[in-house]
Amino acid sequence: MEKNFYITTTLPYVNAAPHIGFALEIVQADIIARYERMKGSNVIFNTGTDEHGVKIYRKALEEKKDPQVYVDENAKKFDELKQALNLSYTRFIRTTDPHHITAAQEFWKRCEASGDIEKKIYRVKYCVGCELEKTDSELQDGKCPIHPNLELEEIKEENYFFKFSTYEKKLLEWYENHPNFVLPDFRFNEIKQFVKNGLADFSISRLKEKMPWGVPVPGDDTQVMYVWFDALVNYVSTLGWPEDEKTFEKFWGRRDNPNAVQVAGKDNLRQQSAMWQAMLMSAGLPPSKQIIIHGFIISGGQKMAKSLGNVVDPFEIVKKYGTDALRFWIAHEMNTFEDGDFTEEKFVESYNANLANGIGNLTSRIMKMAISNDISVSLPSESDGYRKAVEILSDLEEFSIKTTIQKVWNEIRETDRYIQETEPFRVIKIDEKKGKKIMEELVLTLWNISFILEPFLPDTALIIRKMIQERIVPQPMFVRK
């Protein structure tokens, strides 16, 4: 039976250029989406940009631009990641899209009809960096621990709240009945504990006169939506919800068969696996199937900061080393669910060992041997290649990206070792038939490796297959740095 697979990243704010941390998230999602396509699944892969809110509004004012002009310019930079990282997403949603705006309003109306939206006085300390309200127990020295350089804001106004507190039991029940709802386990435990500790209603609108850059609240033109009912609803509006019920059910799933996989950073655990899920329940929609939480990339042992001069720009890395080199680093050098440290020195070390000397050298050795000895192999079909590959890659079902790519590199190393042990280039001079047989075997192995490589290094995989099919003398694929 045909499987419909839906995966989405979070939507980054367009108030800064794409960050390496987002590159990590979207490459992880891309690997899974490509693997699902190899299995024959019908895939919708969503990403996009979150374009409303106070940070963006202020930034646009600062640059003396109309907010729409400002977000148009910045959204383009995020779409450019598609080429830079060779991403295979099929939807790019912008929260300023007219359809998204009407969907967000419809979502609001449904939650209001469930009695979960009410007006109250809102008075809170607020971190503009996180776009989150902070309770005193979450602060360190009176500051947000993630944004120690930002002053917390004190806010007091009348606005709308979502009755998050009424969803404590329902969320815990959902978690209980869906034991793989959040990956990894330690993050799942963290969110369970958070919900058990009791939920506070959260503010979902702002006074329009103070912050006009948002989706108008239905039935109250003095207020605009604040972040959550706007940004999070993209995951369903991108599927054509509410009008396109068929696509929605196929990809988002049903309550008894949820289907949506969401990838998010550890700073988004609460938003994605609790707040958004409660909102879905309130709107009468099925919760997500699974929330995958990744760690952060730090740089040279420290959190990236402009002031430290250690910010890693994904576009620069790609320019210098190539798309697949960055994809490789993300898959192979990052612990899939934990923080990882980027230094250019270690990046180059791994590049030389695994790409220049690893797959690059292996391909070149085998292809040179095959061409100079006129080896011709009858190649299995591509669908055969994919069928075999998905078995080897099946750990990707659990999102174990690092473990899976390590298997691929074991295969590459094994093949290298096999060449060293069998020395076909020597054997062929003594026993032509035997030598040719080993070489044929090696070409077939390289052919198979190209398929297991494909979700991680899609370009490299295609280049290898083209070389084999068209018997092209190999150019070095990854030049030593």
Point out which residues bind Zn ion (CB under 5 A).
Answer: 127, 129-130, 144, 146-147
CB of 148 to Zn ion, least distance (A): 9
CB of 129 to Zn ion, least distance (A): 4
Least separation in angstroms between residue 267's CB and Zn ion is: 9
Cβ proximity to Zn ion, 40 vs 129, nearer residue: 129
Which residue reads 């606005």 in tokens? 159
Looking at the Cβ atoms of 153 and 316, the one nearer to Zn ion is 153
Closer by beta carbon to Zn ion, 194 or else 315: 194
Minimum distance, C-beta of residue 264 to Zn ion, in the bound complex (Å): 16
- Least separation, in Å, of the C-beta of 142 and Zn ion? 13
**Shortest Cβ distance from residue 270 to Zn ion (Å)?**
13
Q: How far is the CB of 134 from Zn ion (least distance, A)?
A: 7
- Least separation in angstroms between CB 143 and Zn ion: 8
Smaller CB separation from Zn ion, 115 or 142: 142
Quick one: 146 or 348, whose CB is closer to Zn ion? 146
Specify the residue, 275 or 356, whose C-beta has the smaller distance to Zn ion: 275
Looking at the Cβ atoms of 138 and 398, the one nearer to Zn ion is 138
As a three-state string, the secondary structure of the chain is: CCCEEEEECCCCECCCCCCHHHHHHHHHHHHHHHHHHHCCCEEEEEEEEECCCHHHHHHHHHCCCCHHHHHHHHHHHHHHHHHHCCCCCCEEEECCCHHHHHHHHHHHHHHHHCCCEEEEEEEEEEECCCCEEECHHHCECCECCCCCCCCCEEEEEEEEEECHHHHHHHHHHHHHHCCCCEECHHHHHHHHHHHHCCCCCEECEEECCCCCCCCEECCEEEEEECCHHHHCCHHHHCCCCCCCHHHHHHHHEECCEECEEEEEEHHHHHHHHHHHHHHHHHCCCCCCCEEEEECCEEECCECCCHHHCCCCCHHHHHHHHCHHHHHHHHHHHCCCCCCEEECHHHHHHHHHHHHHHHHHHHHHHHHHHHHHCCCCCCCCCHHHHHHHHHHHCHHHHHCCHHHHHHHHHHHHHHHHHHHHHHCHHHHHHHCHHHHHHHHHHHHHHHHHHHHHHCCCCHHHHHHHHHHHHHCCCCCCCCCCC
Q: How far is the CB of 150 from Zn ion (least distance, A)?
A: 6
Give 54 or 464: the residue with its C-beta nearer to Zn ion.
54
In the complex with Zn ion, the residue whose CB is nearer, 148 or 212, is 148
